[in-house]
């Protein structure tokens, strides 16, 4: 019985010491900015996805990239460029809005014209409608603004 109590005491001491001295790397990003070029995207988890990125000050991005590279060293995800996120006719780009890094949507005319060329099939019509909705316009106006032929 004494050995069990001693073992429990040792485990508790080890856990206590571990919690005091182990400090996980916490990401506290700087999001201040003056111009759009001060901002970039940084990933917040190992594998890409639509909500896995935050807009941060360019000076913070290298620190976040280093922490995430360490955390994701054993990740099986394919390489992914998160500096500009593209999808369905819109591109999400980092932007400085009211001196805080955020993002803005811009049209991706190559994709919009390609969707328009592929016709009114449901999938491509949905992509056009989604892009137009994000950009606060109609799909016809969006296609016209891209000068699609």
pLDDT at site 34: 96
Give me the phi and psi of 38, to 5 degrees please. Answer: -75, -15
What's the full length of the chain, in residues? Answer: 149
* Integer Cα distance of 3 and 20 in angstroms: 26
Read off the pTM.
Answer: 0.61
The Cα angle at residue 92 between residues 128 and 43, in degrees rounded to 5: 135
Over residues 19-51, the pLDDT tens digits come to: 555 444 556 788 999 999 999 888 777 766 545
Contacts of residue 39, defined as CB under 8 A and 6 or more positions apart, other chains included, come to 31, 33, 55, 56, 57, 58, 94, 95, 96, 101, 102
The three-state secondary structure class of 32 is strand
């Amino acid at each position: 019985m004494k050995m069990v109590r001693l073992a429990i005491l040792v485990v508790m001491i080890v856990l206590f010491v571990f919690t005091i001295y182990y400090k996980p790397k916490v990401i506290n990003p700087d999001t201040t900015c003056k111009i759009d070029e001060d901002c970039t995207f940084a990933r917040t988890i190992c594998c890409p996805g639509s909500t896995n990125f935050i807009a941060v000050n360019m000076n913070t991005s290298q620190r976040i990239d280093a922490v995430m590279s360490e955390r994701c060293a054993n990740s099986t995800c394919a390489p992914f460029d998160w500096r500009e996120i593209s999808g369905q006719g819109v591109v999400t780009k980092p932007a400085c809005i009211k001196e805080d890094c955020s993002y803005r949507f811009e049209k991706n005319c190559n994709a919009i014209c390609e969707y328009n060329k592929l016709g009114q099939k449901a999938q491509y019509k949905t992509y056009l409608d989604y892009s137009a909705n994000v950009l606060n316009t109609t799909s016809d106006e969006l296609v016209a603004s891209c000068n699609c032929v």
